[in-house]
Amino acid sequence: MTSGGPFIVALHTNDTDRLDVGALDRVKVTLHGTEVVAIADVAYGIVNRGEIGLFLEVAAALNGKDGDLVQVILEQKPGSVVNIKKKLDKNVLKKEEVFEIIQDVVENKLSEVETAYFVAGCYINGLSLEEVQFLTEAIVRFGGTLEIRKKPVMDIHSIGGVPGNRVSMIVVPIIAAAGLTIPKTSTRSITSASGTSDTVEIFAPVAHTKEKIMEIVKETNGCLVWGGTLDLASADDKLIKIERPLSLDPEGILLASIMAKKKAAGATHVLLEIPVGEDTKVKDVKRAKELGKKFEVLGKKMGILFEVVIIDGSQPVGCGIGPALEARDVLQVLQGRGPDDLRERSLFLAEKLMEMAGIKNAEDKAKSILHSGLALEKFRAIMKAQGGNPDVTLEDIKIGKYTYEGVAQKEGKIKRIHNKQVAYLARSAGAPQDKGAGVYMHVKLKDKVKAGDTLLTIYAESNEKLLHACKVWEEKEIIEL
């Protein structure tokens, strides 16, 4: 059995009484001179008296096997627990205290409950800019970094919250084709219908070692990979896992998370996109400017040039929402077709990145690279280098065969599209786990429709999930007229 994080061992209730160990207490387990500190789970009917059950992570660390004799003693809580309580008590943490917490997170010395209290403390009491800097440095220090020699190293990042916003999959090949270096690491979906890595995975594997990524970048100038298997900012991935159940996203951890990932990827220039809208993480322009300023200040402290662009996040970008549907949008844009808004936004961001790198006539150059087919050629080269099929066609990208059309019940103009509900609808259909599931939008804000016009199409890979999504469509007000 695997814990997926902290080291855990199972002990019989008689043994925990004898050792004066309670549930969630720490024990030191020693085998052949190797020591592991683990969380104790009081087991009933799983292990016998005098036995210990090792979760796979502990067994691997100890190189243990059935029948081995181990020593078990009570272990004190790590000092970082005291630091976590300080944050819960509204105190400002010192550099060494933040570092101690993150080191213990990375080394699995904290239970998920203790890590959750740290996240909660940051969420409730916030982090100062100095604490955010310490957190960023700690995440990078106890993670890994890419060593990219060709400078400048460009990067692009979106705060998120807008369905279908797969601009980086178009911007990266444009920038790479312009001769600039752009190693793009992304996350998988947390609450959305698809993360960038989920969509890229339609074309090629996204999980690679740091060495492999550097090879890909050296060969093609760019990459589109998942950061989760690289040990780049591994503490950040553990914090995200804790945030997911309650969709917590403390600003301080958000700042440090993005900053650490960029620092770990070797970025020297970062273009940060902050979508603003009722359903996005940032609700108004004033708040977006305040957040953008914090990124710029922190970037300067970390040796990274940040430029912030504030964009409209009031509706989905592109038409497809869900891995395969988004992949189709991306491929069509690279082929000179596809949704206008996805193409224009991608060109705008590519232009901004080129200007940051000092390229003249950036607007014309970005358009020329896309319209000439050079961006498509570069995209295929990157996907090939990542182990994918460089010749993939639209027909190769399979979408769910079970469909339902959501239609307008009356005549009118599209007044609002609820981004969160659109994402929820796509997830109800099976996205992102079912790659072919999702939603295809047929309308944009201010479009005029008649009764019976198709507003969106739901795609699912099973009839059961389609029925579930249809129920969501009927119960939620996803598109307002």
Give the N- to C-terminal CA distance of the chain in Å, as an integer: 51
Which of 119, 56, 418 is CA-nearest to residue 245? Answer: 119
What are the residue ranges in the chain where pLDDT is below 70? 1-5, 229-233, 244-248
Same domain for 110 and 230, yes or no, is no
Same domain for 317 and 228, yes or no, is yes
CATH number, domain with residue 280 = 3.40.1030.10
Same domain for 239 and 107, yes or no, is no
Domain boundary residue among 385, 407, 441? 385
Can you tell me the distance from the alpha carbon of 91 to that of 93, in angstroms, rounded to the nearest whole number? 6
DSSP reduced 3-state for 422: helix
> pLDDT at position 445, please?
97
Same domain for 218 and 115, yes or no, is no
User: Is 143 domain-assigned?
Assistant: no
Same domain for 286 and 303, yes or no, is yes
> pLDDT at position 4, please?
61
> pLDDT at position 147, please?
87
Helix (H) or strand (E) holding 374: helix 374-385
User: Is 360 domain-assigned?
Assistant: yes
> pLDDT at position 230, please?
61
How distant, in Å, are the alpha carbons of 270, 292, 461 from that of 308? 8, 6, 39
Domains: count for the chain: 4
Same domain for 194 and 327, yes or no, is yes
pTM > 0.75: yes or no: yes
CATH number, domain with residue 71 = 2.40.40.20
> pLDDT at position 110, please?
85
- Report the share of the chain in percent with pLDDT over 70: 96
**Cis bond upstream, residue 152 (ω within 30):** yes
Can you tell me the distance from the alpha carbon of 106 to that of 297, in angstroms, rounded to the nearest whole number? 27
Compute how many other C-beta atoms are within 10 angstroms of the C-beta atom of residue 14: 11
Structural domain range at position 443:
399-480
Same domain for 225 and 92, yes or no, is no
451-474: per-residue pLDDT in tens? Answer: 999 999 999 999 999 999 999 999
User: Is 146 domain-assigned?
Assistant: no
Which of 189, 172, 191 is CA-nearest to residue 181? Answer: 172
Same domain for 212 and 328, yes or no, is yes
CB within 8 A of 267, min separation 6: which ones? Answer: 153, 154, 155, 304
> pLDDT at position 1, please?
62
Same domain for 222 and 114, yes or no, is no
DSSP reduced 3-state for 378: helix
Can you tell me the distance from the alpha carbon of 79 to that of 71, in angstroms, rounded to the nearest whole number? 23
- DSSP output for 329-373: HHHHHHTT-S-HHHHHHHHHHHHHHHHHTT-TTHHHHHHHHHHTT
The catalytic residues are: 249
Same domain for 87 and 69, yes or no, is no
User: Is 117 domain-assigned?
Assistant: yes
Helix (H) or strand (E) holding 271: strand 269-276
User: Is 140 domain-assigned?
Assistant: no
Same domain for 287 and 368, yes or no, is yes
Instruction: Write the single-letter amino acid at 323.
Output: P
User: Is 309 domain-assigned?
Assistant: yes
Bridge partners of residue 262, in order along the sequence: none
326-356: per-residue pLDDT in tens? Answer: 999 999 999 999 999 999 999 999 999 999 9
User: Is 321 domain-assigned?
Assistant: yes
Task: Answer yes or no: are the C-beta atoms of 210 and 249 closer than 8 Å.
Answer: no
> pLDDT at position 237, please?
72
User: Is 437 domain-assigned?
Assistant: yes
Same domain for 66 and 96, yes or no, is no
CATH number, domain with residue 473 = 3.90.1170.30
**Cis bond upstream, residue 183 (ω within 30):** no
For the chain, percent helix, then strand, then coil, each to nearest 5? Answer: 45, 20, 35
Domain boundary residue among 75, 94, 111? 75
